[in-house]
Amino acid sequence: MSRADEIFISMCRDILQNGFSSEGQKVRAKWADGTPAHTIKKFGVVNRYDLEKEFPILTLRPTNYRAAIDELLWIWQRKSNNIKDLNSKIWDSWADENGSIGKAYGYQLKIKHKYPEGEFDQVDRVIYDLKNNPYSRRIIVNMYNHADLNEMNLYPCAYSITFNVTGNKLNAVLNQRSQDVLVANNWNVSQYAILVHMFAKVCGLKVGELVHVIADAHIYDRHIPLIEELISRKTYDAPKLIINPDVKDFYDFKVEDFVLEGYKAGPQIKNIPVAI
């Protein structure tokens, strides 16, 4: 069993056994048939992944890590807020007629800010600090810009990340306001594990821990039987992450520069109902 599987199973069992149900409350989300989409949730879930030991991807079912990486590069490397720059349809329902998701995600990362050392956007500031002042306790990226929330088609879910170097290891704390555990949990974990690997590689560091803090970790009512079946499945060993050694610049990474060697997983869950 991979450590990612172990963490996921434990989290899901805790939510199902000890979580708080929204039944009887007024909820925003609805199913396609108009029925309220209720959840059972846990507040303040914290999961830790040692990236030096293994790449944290589920083997209970396959995670489409190539699509996850593409979305990560869309936000962090291309700094785009337009679905025309994305190679999947996961953001289509949040885009306007021009393909824009508003002033969200990549839009926030490309805004330049003034510092004593010059002008940087948030991504370039991380790279500068990791190379020039790696033991700073101020290496933070934040996409939850209150001034622009009214122009975002969706408020950021994974909204901030704090980087911290211990010795020669790069660690990160990912903060997420809300998460659909079945649909998005390992997608986000895989993405931000890749991001830590990317920054570590181009800044001459090794990877350390990824700490994932979820304020509202929830399982939708119609997902409960799917989760129960999923966490009862057979698991496999974690795959090995292979990164193209020739890439030296953060902005040169491509999806195909990341390969999971020996990735084995159970069958995919199909036709997952999605709350809107």
pLDDT in tens, 5-53: 999 999 999 999 999 999 999 999 999 999 999 999 999 999 999 999 9
Strand 158-166 relative to strand 258-261, pairing: unpaired
pLDDT band at 235 (very low <50, low <70, confident <90, very high): very high
Domain positions in the chain: 3-261
- For the chain, what's the residue count? 276
Task: Say what the pTM is.
Answer: 0.97
CA-CA-CA-CA torsion sign (16, 22, 27, 30): positive
CATH code for the domain defined by 3-261 = 3.30.572.10
Instruction: Please check if 175 is assigned to a binding site.
Output: no
> What does the alpha-carbon distance between residue 101 and residue 201 come to, in Å, rounded to a whole number?
30
Whether residue 141 contacts residue 123, with contact meaning beta carbons closer than 8 Å, is answered with: yes
Q: Please give the structure tokens belonging to residue 147.
A: 């001034």
184-218 pLDDT, tens per residue? Answer: 999 999 999 999 999 999 999 999 999 999 999 99
For residue 266, the number of C-alpha atoms closer than 13 Å in the C-beta half-sphere is 17
In angstroms, the Cα distances linking 84 to 74, 111, 163 are 10, 20, 30
Residues designated as active site: 157
Instruction: Please check if 219 is assigned to a binding site.
Output: yes
Of all helices (H) and strands (E), which one includes residue 6? helix 3-18
Instruction: Please check if 220 is assigned to a binding site.
Output: yes
User: Can you tell me which residue has the tokens 């979305």?
Assistant: 71
> What does the alpha-carbon distance between residue 45 and residue 18 come to, in Å, rounded to a whole number?
12
The stretch 115-133 carries a mean pLDDT of 97
Q: What pLDDT was estimated at residue 18?
A: 98
Instruction: Please check if 64 is assigned to a binding site.
Output: yes
Instruction: Please check if 48 is assigned to a binding site.
Output: no
Whether residue 51 contacts residue 207, with contact meaning beta carbons closer than 8 Å, is answered with: yes
Q: What pLDDT was estimated at residue 276?
A: 85
Tally of helices (H runs) and strands (E runs) in the chain: 6, 11
